[in-house]
């Protein structure tokens, strides 16, 4: 039987560290006060920060080669929600879960909604899956879904996306995220323009089924599973599609879905400017779509992305309300630990970006003082905001040290008996 993390355990674990945290927090408060920053304002914003957890991220991922299942892995959406509640109860910033259909499909969505309500969880963007065939599927997605040359396959993919909207409405979601595996593996295999036309035609049908208060987020990815061309390969194709579809369609940026060394923060700025930034899938990468833990390799890049986001917030940019979500594959860690670490890493980038002196930065930019403009960003990045993050967690009922408290809870061992390995998992790389 699943037990939520015991609030008394969190209190006991926190009590061991509250004294040190207060000392560090006061020291940081003094340091920030010298820069005319009120730490309480920053901590308040840190506590308001939310990032969604993907349902599929709670299971061990795997690679193209193999998957090594973990002990006590969640086997269905209910168990994924149980693990998501552990993450949220300890980290205090992940109250939303993003499901993937049909992986997370249930017969009774009202039962699923009741289950998530009881765990104090809400639903984030609905992800549709047309990159694989379901058993008994009449028309295959082998050669694409929304852009397939076969109309029957396209219609099936459209229907699935419209179903996803309906299921999402039952859960209280307001966003549909569409990523397709469509593309080609051989030069000449596909007529680029005709394939994109078919995709847009299909997307228009889905767009027409979108409730007026919903958004549709389009996710681009330059390769995999198609290795020569993909239908929405980059932010260019993405924003073109979003503009063609209408104001409720926006672009979603998955950090691992670009060519190496691409300036992602600049793409983010462009999307903000044209009111087309829908949201993010946060992760880190060294080579490609590695789906490594957020901030594990390029924390400065993540900070620079948040510098753009906080700048838009600061300027009160019209139509700016992106969804933040993690999208990672955990192969060698306990997914709960990785997701807590990653949520805190993204939250850290947000808080660090709040510390940028924007008046000063603007002056340096105006005067072309490159070194001081750069140092203004670096100065904010170099401040260790850990006490702010820990204080935000403490005040929201979470753990000062989420991983230590998680290990003390023995959650994984507790659920292992109830969750014998099925050898399967609704997790993977998206
Ligand atoms: Mn993604």
pLDDT digits (tens, 9 = 90+) for 47-63: 999 999 999 999 998 88
**Which pLDDT score, from 0 to 100, does residue 191 have?**
98
Over residues 66-75, the mean pLDDT reads 91
Q: What is the DSSP letter of 56?
A: G
The answer on pLDDT for 430 being more than 70 is no
* Residues pairing with 215 in the sheet: 175
Q: What spacing in Å lies between the alpha carbon of 101 and ligand 1's midpoint?
A: 14
How does pLDDT run across 96-113, given as a tens digit for each residue?
999 999 999 999 999 999
So what's the pLDDT on residue 62? 86
As given in the structure block, the two tokens for residue 13 are 């674990």
pLDDT confidence bin for 1, thresholds 50/70/90: confident
From 411, 377, 396, select the one nearest 45 (Cα to Cα): 396
Tell me the mean pLDDT in the region 81-88.
98
276 Cβ partners below 8 Å, 6+ apart? Answer: 239, 242, 243, 250, 251
Q: What's the gap in Å between 2 CA and the centre of ligand 1?
A: 29
Could you count the other beta carbons within 10 Å of the beta carbon of residue 318? 8
Residue 423 pLDDT grade (very low, low, confident, very high; cuts 50, 70, 90): low
Name the residue with tokens 């179903």.
163
**Under 8 Å between Cβ of 252 and 177:** yes
> Smallest Cα–Cα separation from 53: which of 232, 293, 268?
293
Q: DSSP state, 6?
A: P
DSSP secondary structure letter of residue 60: B
Residues 6+ positions from 44 with CB-CB distance below 8 Å:
none
Average pLDDT of the residues in 192-220: 98
Look at residue 48 in the predicted model and tell me its pLDDT. Answer: 98
- Run of H or E including 230: strand 229-230
Q: What is the mean pLDDT of the chain?
A: 96
- Looking at residues 144-164, what average pLDDT do you find? 98
pLDDT at 63: 85
Mean pLDDT of 203-214: 98
State the burial class of residue 36 (Cβ atoms within 10 Å of its Cβ: 0-12, 13-18, 19+): exposed
Cα 254 to ligand 1 centroid, rounded to whole Å: 5
Q: At residue 424, does pLDDT exceed 80?
A: no
Order of strands, sheet of 96-98, starting from the edge strand that comes earlier in the sequence: 53-54, 96-98, 122-123
Output the CA 252–ligand 1 centroid distance in Å. 8
Each residue's pLDDT tens digit, 160-199: 999 999 999 999 999 999 999 999 999 999 999 999 999 9
- Residue 426 predicted with pLDDT over 60: no
Question: 256 C-alpha vs ligand 1 centroid, how far in Å?
Answer: 8
pLDDT tens for 313-361 read 999 999 999 999 999 999 999 999 999 999 999 999 999 999 999 999 9
In the reported structure, the alpha carbon of residue 410 is separated from the centroid of ligand 1 by a whole-number distance in angstroms of 30
- Cα 361 to ligand 1 centroid, rounded to whole Å: 32
User: What are the φ/ψ torsions at residue 187 (nearest 5 degrees)?
Assistant: -55, 135
Expressed in angstroms and rounded, the spacing between residue 278 Cα and the centre of ligand 1 is 13
CB atoms within 10 A of CB 19: 9
Q: Enter the tokens of residue 252.
A: 């979603």
Which residues 6+ apart lie within 8 Å of 222 measured at CB? Answer: 230, 233, 234, 257, 258, 259
Q: What pLDDT score does 206 carry?
A: 98
Distance of CA 52 to the CA centre of its chain: 6
pLDDT given at position 144: 98
> What tokens does 335 get?
């997914």
Cα 57 from Cα 37, distance rounded (Å): 36
pLDDT at 140 exceeding the cut of 90: yes
What is the DSSP annotation of 190-226? S-HHHHHHHHHHHHHHHHHTS-TT-EEEEE--SSSSS
Q: Cβ(184)–Cβ(229) under 8 Å?
A: yes
Radius of gyration of the chain (CA): 22
Which pLDDT does position 422 carry in this prediction? 67
For residue 420, the model assigns a pLDDT of 86
d(CA 317, CA 183): 35
pTM, two decimal places? 0.96
CA of 58 to the centre of ligand 1 (A): 15
Q: Residue 29: in which H helix or E strand, if any?
A: helix 18-33
User: Measuring CA to CA, how many Å separate 309 from each of 2, 278, 303, 390?
Assistant: 38, 12, 10, 22
- In angstroms, what is the span from residue 228 Cα to ligand 1's centroid? 19
**pLDDT of 425 strictly over 80:** no
Between the CA of 281 and the centroid of ligand 1 the distance, in Å, is: 5
Distance 362 CA to ligand 1 centre (A): 33
């Amino acid at each position: 039987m699943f037990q939520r993390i015991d609030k008394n355990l969190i209190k006991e674990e926190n009590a061991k560290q509250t004294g040190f945290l207060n000392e560090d927090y006061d020291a940081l408060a003094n340091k920030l006060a010298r820069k005319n920053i009120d730490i309480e304002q920053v901590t308040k914003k840190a506590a308001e920060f939310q990032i969604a957890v993907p349902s599929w991220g709670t299971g061990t991922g795997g690679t193209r080669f193999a998957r090594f299942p973990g002990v006590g892995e969640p086997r269905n959406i209910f168990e994924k929600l149980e693990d998501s509640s552990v993450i949220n109860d300890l980290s205090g910033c992940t109250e939303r879960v993003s499901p993937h259909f049909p992986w997370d499909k249930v017969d009774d969505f009202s039962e699923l909604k009741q289950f998530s309500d009881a765990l104090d969880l809400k639903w984030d963007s609905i992800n549709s899956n047309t990159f694989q065939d379901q058993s008994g599927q009449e028309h295959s997605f082998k050669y694409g879904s929304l852009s397939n040359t076969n109309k029957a396959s396209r219609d099936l993919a459209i229907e699935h996306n419209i179903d996803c909207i309906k299921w999402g409405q039952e859960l209280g979601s307001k966003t549909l995220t569409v990523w397709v595996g469509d593309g080609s593996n051989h030069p000449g295999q596909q007529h680029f323009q005709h394939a994109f036309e078919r995709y847009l035609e299909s997307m228009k049908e889905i767009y027409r089924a979108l409730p007026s208060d919903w958004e549709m987020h389009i996710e681009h990815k330059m390769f995999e599973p198609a290795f020569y061309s993909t239908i929405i390969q980059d932010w260019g194709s993405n924003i073109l599609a979003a503009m063609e579809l209408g104001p409720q369609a926006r672009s979603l940026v998955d950090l691992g879905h670009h060519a190496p060394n691409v300036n992602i923060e600049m793409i983010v700025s462009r999307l903000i400017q044209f009111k087309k930034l829908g949201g993010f899938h946060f992760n880190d990468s060294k080579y490609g779509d590695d789906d490594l833990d957020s901030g594990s390799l390029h924390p400065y890049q993540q900070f620079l992305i948040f510098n753009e986001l906080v700048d838009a917030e600061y300027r009160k940019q019209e139509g700016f309300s992106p969804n933040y979500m993690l999208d990672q594959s955990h192969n060698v860690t306990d997914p709960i630990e990785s997701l807590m670490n990653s949520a805190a890493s993204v939250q850290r980038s947000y808080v660090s970006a709040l510390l940028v002196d924007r008046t000063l930065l603007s002056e340096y930019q105006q005067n072309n003082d490159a070194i001081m403009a750069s140092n203004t960003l670096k100065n904010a990045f170099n401040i260790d905001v850990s006490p702010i993050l820990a204080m935000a967690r403490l005040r929201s009922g979470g753990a000062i040290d989420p991983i230590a408290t998680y290990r003390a809870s023995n959650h994984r061992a507790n659920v292992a008996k109830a969750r014998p390995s099925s050898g399967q998992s609704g997790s993977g790389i998206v």
